[in-house]
Structure 1
Amino acid sequence: MADRYLNFTGTAPGRFLTRRLGLPQPAELRRWSAEYPSFEGVVLHLTAGEPKHSAELAEVLGRTGLDVRTGLDVRTGLDVRTGLDVRAEVEGPSESAARPAAIVLDATAVADVTGLAQVHAALHPVARTVAASGRIVVLGSPVSRDDHHQAAAQQALEGFTRSLGKEIGRGRTVTLVRVEGPVAAAESTLRFLLSPRSAYVSGQVIEVTAAETTAPADWARPLAGRTALITGAARGIGAAVAEVLARDGARLVLLDVPSARQDLEALAARLDGTALPLDITAADAAERIMDAVPSLDTLVHNAGITRDRTLAKMPADRWASVMDVNLASVLTTTDALLKAGALNRGGSIVATASIAGLAGNAGQTNYAASKAGIAGMTRSLAPRALADHGVTVNAVAPGFIETKMTAAVPLFIREAGRRMNSLGQGGQPVDVAETTAWFAHPASGSVNGQVVRVCGQSLLGA
């Protein structure tokens, strides 16, 4: 459904009126397209303190194909490698490619209050110069259990990045990435965040482990030769996930209830995939999946329903139906496929949580409980699935996404859902799909047990 307010604020009268009235001024987000596959403009690589992996990070950033400027001296504004006066170049009013598309700040060495002052010194002169729909990515380290000064400083980065994300505006996003091991393990994550694919991901803290990763033969088609099963695939978010995974080269098996057969088969035909009409809550669902596709690389649990009522008015059948589809089927299917070895080593499981499960929502005790359950499953299963089966487990937690379901929400509630985030607008199904594709990426083996909100940094939730 069209966001008329967003369209209005993009006009000259709309900008004037919203400024005068102090109303939100969302910027149109630039998402991935064949015509706009990567950012235009430079990427500033800054440091705070003396990170041990600065050269390695520069090498990783260099492989992205972006125009990376390293070694900026924040006191002079000069790039120490090229001598370019970056600050003079980017402070003009134009939206030219000279404005930095992104800033990557390596704060992995920050271990005390002095180090935090260096974070401020690095970003204070240049943060406002980032182009519209640009990115700021801060790299941090795991919080120490033994050094409370380091723990305080690294935890402070969370409050800093979340606050910066809420004030920076103009469609720009801010993310903190905690790197446990070699920076190379974060390459797929950095490529995702430093691209138009992450347009609706902001205010998140992503942990990257030291697990080994596999670089794809072709970063443009990283899922080539891999098979993905998507549940709830006939329409909405599931269909968007199918389209993005197909774009990235995956062979698709698309599952949805038999009543959605027509839409499911049409989508499968268009994407050269296989349609599997099946009720995921059926007792033999896992066996039928394995009969249809004995070997999988990616399992995407997207199927979900709502049956809203306040708890006092919710009969047992409405509670049970939501739990069966949204949580029980995910648990039983995942267990069966892992036990049977149907998921290949190096594979991934991506489940769908929700911001409702993280923050709660009136009238959705059943739905919120089921989606919080997904988050709990993800964090508990992830280390064991990786150790025992070589499979990662992660979850996306969508916020307000523009779908047929949200289009049916009453006007004022819908508008509140759209505006109550740092980007001031609803997300698109493709935003969830792009995050799912990042989790499914063969080079994302170091991303495990994460629950990442795709919500434009909603003002609700943790």
Structure 2
Amino acid sequence: MNDYLIQLTKNPIIQKLTNAMGLPKPPIELYRNNHPWEDRPLNDQSVLISQIQQTAITRTLAEIVVKGGGNPFIENDDAIVEIFNQAGKGYGRLPQSIIKGELPDKLSPKILIFDATNLQKPEDLNPVYSFFHSHLRSLAICGRVVILNPEITDQTDVSTATTARALEGFTRAMAREIGFKGATANIVYVAPDAQSRLEPVLRFLLSERSSYITGQPLHISTQVISDEAIPKTRPLDGKTALVTGAAQGIGAAIARAIAREGARVIIMDRPSEDIPAGKLAAEIQGDLLFCDITTPSAGDQILEMVANTDNGLDIVVHNAGITRDKLLVNMKPDAWDQVLDVNLRAILRVNEKLLPIMKNNGRIVCLSSVSGIAGNRGQTNYAASKAGVIGFVSGLASKVLDRGIAVNAVAPGFIETQMTARIPFATRLVARRLNNLNQGGTPDDVAETITFLCSPGAFGLTGQVLRICGGAIIGA
């Protein structure tokens, strides 16, 4: 759906008037990418990197940047420059050393990375402050900021845990300060010995596929046991995916994105959605399964469909969901039961049937919501169901680690769909502005994130909830 304020930014006359009158600038139209995955997603972009000192992941970080197609600029540290030099020789991407706090003329880096994985005490936050204080103003439109942080465990000493959490607060606040230019900032916690799982996560976060994810923490671990190859392109080749509620909206976008990356998609929706589902199946060469997910036989119907495929089942995306909004005191029992049944109980029933037949190295992704994190007036049923989804993900993830199955959820914020288009204009206008990026997201924002979480490279992430909300003001 069109956001008229974003359309205004394309009008040069409006731009001049806004600048001349000192008015707040309209939101920046985000750079997005819904094309097939590419080998070098950084695409010759300038990447400015700093560290407290050399860390265990310095060499890994160097290889990620140069293999991804980035041009590294390193704040003056000869040892780190040499590591990047060794990594870049084979790719023609030698690093440029710069004086701390200074940039070459007219350089506007697209990406800022700070490796803080060896921080130990609050004083270690000072170099982080200095780096971003000096360079944040120069960050390009729709730029990316990523901070790497040590994972906090029961064995982490108090000083390190304190400082690492302080850095998360710093990142969230910084994300709010750079959102006006369409830029994002996220923090990645890296567990000991998990640096080999960092590359796919950074390739996603630094790309234009993560445009509506900002102010978020991600935790990379070695919990999921997997030896599956990690292709950089067509990551879902040969896999079979089930997407529930796939006929329209976000579900259809998910099905398209997963199919684009090579998966055979089973499009599951109610019989009443036969026309849009049929068109989608023809478009992506997918399989159709007309089934009401709330019926007791839904799991068996899916099993029968999967039995007729050649490859088994690799991916399940629990997307089907409904709303029946009313204030709690006015909510009828039917409205309560319908939402809990579709959004939560059906997931438990279907998953119980599907889990035994899922292949090793599989992926399960569920749709939660920021409403499930923060609550929302008039949505006690919906918020309960979506919070329950988070509990489902947390509870299931630890039970399938040895099979290489990763289980995660996404929590979309305000997404421009046919459903949100029916919201009154004034309410819709306010909802768009209640985030760092000052605009709503798109179904493709959700679909690209889920496609990443379904890929082999997401094996470092499990039991997590990734918000796709533009850094919404509500929630954590």
State the TM-score, normalizing by the size of structure 1: 0.92
CA displacement 1:5-46 (0-9 Å, x = unmatched): 111134334345556465453111010144996344212232
1:444 CA displacement: 1.0
The question of 1:150 aligning with 2:160 is answered yes
> Out of 368, 392, 395, which is 1:353 matched to?
368
Equivalent pair of 2:194/2:460 in contact (CA under 8 Å): no
Match in the other structure for 1:286: 299
In 1: Cα distance, 2:473 partner to 2:18 partner: 20
Identity of aligned residues (%): 39
Q: Tell me the equivalent position of 1:457.
A: 471
Which residue of 1 is the match for residue 171 of structure 2?
A: 161
**In the alignment, residue 203 of structure 1 is paired with which amino acid?**
G
| 2:398 is the alignment partner of 1:383 | yes
1:428 aligns to 2:442 (yes or no): yes
Distance in 2, matches of 1:446 and 1:108, equals 17
Could you tell which deviates more after superposition, 354-363 or 215-224?
A: 215-224
Whole-angstrom distance in 2 between the partners of 1:391 and 1:218: 17
Counterparts of 1:188-227 in structure 2, within 5 Å, are: 188-211=200-223, 212-214=225-227, 216=229, 218-227=231-240
Matches for 1:59-458 after TM superposition, within 5 Å: 59-69=63-73, 71-73=74-76, 82-85=95-98, 92=106, 98-145=107-154, 146-168=156-178, 169-180=180-191, 181-211=193-223, 212-214=225-227, 216=229, 218-294=231-307, 295-338=312-355, 341-387=356-402, 389-458=403-472
1:95 alignment counterpart: none
How many Å apart are 1:122 and its aligned residue?
2.4
Q: SS of the counterpart of 2:372?
A: helix
Question: Match for 1:414: what amino acid?
Answer: R
Tell me which amino acid in the other structure corresponds to 1:188: P
Following the alignment from structure 2 to structure 1, what is the Cα–Cα distance between the partners of residues 320 and 22? 41
SS at match of 2:473: coil
How far is 1:306 from its partner? 0.6
Shift of 1:110: 1.0
CA contact (8 A) 1:44 1:102 kept: yes
Contact 2:175 2:436 in 1 (8 A): yes
CA shift in 2, pair 1:384/1:227, >3 Å:
same
How far off its partner does 1:356 sit? 0.9
Q: Distance in 2 between matches of 1:334 and 1:36?
A: 29
Q: Distance between the aligned counterparts of 1:18 and 1:383, measured in 2? A: 52
The equivalent of 1:5 in structure 2 is 5
1-structure distance, mates of 2:299, 2:391: 21
1:219 CA displacement: 1.2
- Alpha-carbon contact 2:339-2:385 (below 8 Å) kept: yes
**Native 8 Å contact 1:42 1:102 kept in 2:** yes
Number of residue pairs the alignment of both structures matches:
451
Aligned residue for 1:293, secondary structure, equals helix
Q: How far apart, in 1, do the equivalents of 2:317 and 2:129 lie?
A: 40
| Distance across 1 between alignment mates of 2:76 and 2:392 | 45
Residue 326 to residue 36, structure 1, CA distance change in 2 (3 Å)? closer
Q: In structure 2, what is the equivalent of residue 31 of structure 1?
A: 32
Q: 1:214 to 1:44 in 2, by over 3 A?
A: farther
Q: One-letter code of the match for 1:29?
A: L
SS in 2 for 1:418: helix
* Cα distance in 2 for residues equivalent to 1:34 and 1:452: 22
Alignment deviations for residues 356-402 of structure 1 (CA, whole Å, 9 cap, x no partner): 11111111111111111111111121111223x43111001000000
Q: What is aligned with 2:92?
A: none
Q: What stretches of structure 1 of length at least 5 have no aligned partner?
A: 93-97
Does the 8 A contact of 1:347 with 1:391 survive in 2? yes
Partner amino acid for 2:172?
A: R
1:213 Cα deviation from its structure 2 partner: 5.0
Give per-residue Cα distances to partners, 1:387-424, cap 9 Å, x unaligned. 3x431110010000000000000111101111110001
2:194 and 2:220 in contact (8 A); partners too: no
CA distance in 2, matches of 1:102, 1:421: 21
Post-superposition CA distance 1:36-85 (Å, at most 9, x none): 9634421223212442221222223333233333x42289xx99954554
Shift of 1:130: 1.8
Structure 2, unaligned runs of 5 or more: 86-94
Asked if the contact 2:229/2:456 (under 8 Å) is kept, the reply is yes
AA in 2 matched with 1:267 = L
What's the TM-score, normalizing by structure 2?
A: 0.90
Instruction: Give the secondary-structure state (helix, strand or coil) at the position aligned to 1:6.
Output: helix
Partner SS state of residue 31, structure 1: coil
